[in-house]
Amino acid sequence: MKQVLISKELYPLFLSIMQFLNRANITIRTAATTDEILKCHFEQHADLIILKIDQPGTPCETMIHIIRRSESLRGVSILACHDDRPALRERSEVSGANAAIALPANPSRLAAKVLQLLDVQPRRAYRVVMNMTADGLHNGKPFLCKTENVSTRGMLLSTAEALAPGNHISCSFYLPDGTRVVADGEVVRVIGQNSASPSNQYGIRFLTISPQSEAALDAFVQKQRKSASTDETQDALVA
């Protein structure tokens, strides 16, 4: 069962798109302010939060920052809705939400975005050596790391370098068919060392990825998911 926590102001809009969702396994809770949203999410973790960027209460950006910094709260997708005004659009896009959308929105497009944020992307084990830079670390110089798995939304990597939640990184690597993938991401999880390697493991969420790179990654994940067993890995070249 998927849990959706939504602004009371947006609740009628959400009901209007339910016919496009075609899913019965969604439960809905509402909250009038950002402070109520945070309280409800703390009491019962949501899979998706839908809010307005200018919603009453603590500024949305602050609330999202609190959620992203909490180990127990951060595992939620957030959709920031806004009236189609430049200032609100900019606030939504830099708020830390997974996605932003202007209102009024086409119901089918809004439903597709909700489904995208609710559904877990399939992950495929894929080992690759990459060049990466972390903002503010090592004077911006590249360092080596290895991915443990990858999806269109992020990756799990291991490296001997010290990273911390909130660090921004830029990465590029080649898929086996020669397609170059370029993305900017953020460290959202520190897992620590595993038994096979002294390196630390980090969960990376992609912040920006080109449509071409996202499509190539999605095609790779889907192909490998269908054609190979889950315990296989592949190697790729440094970008």
More confident site: 228 or 17: 17
For residue 104, the SS3 value is coil
Highest mean pLDDT among 19-33, 136-150, 184-198: 19-33
pLDDT in tens, 88-113: 988 988 888 888 888 888 777 787 78
Question: What pLDDT is stored for residue 225 in this prediction?
Answer: 60
Higher pLDDT, 203 or 135: 203
pLDDT tens-digit readout, 37-69: 999 999 999 999 999 999 999 999 999 999 988
pLDDT at 140: 65
Query: How many CA atoms lie less than 13 Å away from 234 in the CB half-sphere?
Result: 18
Whether residue 100 contacts residue 92, with contact meaning beta carbons closer than 8 Å, is answered with: yes
Assigned token pair, 35: 């402070």
Give the start-to-end residue ranges of the domains of the chain.
2-118, 124-227
pLDDT digits (tens, 9 = 90+) for 121-161: 444 555 555 555 555 444 566 777 777 777 777 888 888 78
At residue 231, the pLDDT reads: 40
pLDDT for the residue 233: 41
pTM above 0.75, yes or no: no
Structure tokens at 1: 């069962």
For residue 230, pLDDT over 50 is answered with no
Q: What is the pLDDT of residue 80?
A: 92
CATH topology of domain 124-227: Thrombin, subunit H (2.40.10)
Average pLDDT over residues 214-229: 70
pLDDT digits 0-9 by tens, 68-78: 888 888 889 99
**For residues 20 and 107, is the Cβ–Cβ distance under 8 A?**
yes
pLDDT, the chain, mean: 77
Q: Answer for the pair 99, 82: CB distance below 8 angstroms, yes or no.
A: no
Which phi and psi (to 5°) does residue 231 adopt? -95, 5
CA torsion through residues 204, 168, 209, 17, sign: positive
Which residue would you say has higher pLDDT here, 227 or 49? Answer: 49
Confidence of residue 192 (pLDDT cuts 50, 70, 90): low
What is the architecture, at CATH level 2, of domain 2-118?
Answer: 3-Layer(aba) Sandwich (3.40)
Indicate the DSSP class of residue 57. Answer: S
Share of the chain above pLDDT 70, in %: 78
Name the phi and psi angles at 100, rounded to 5: -130, 145
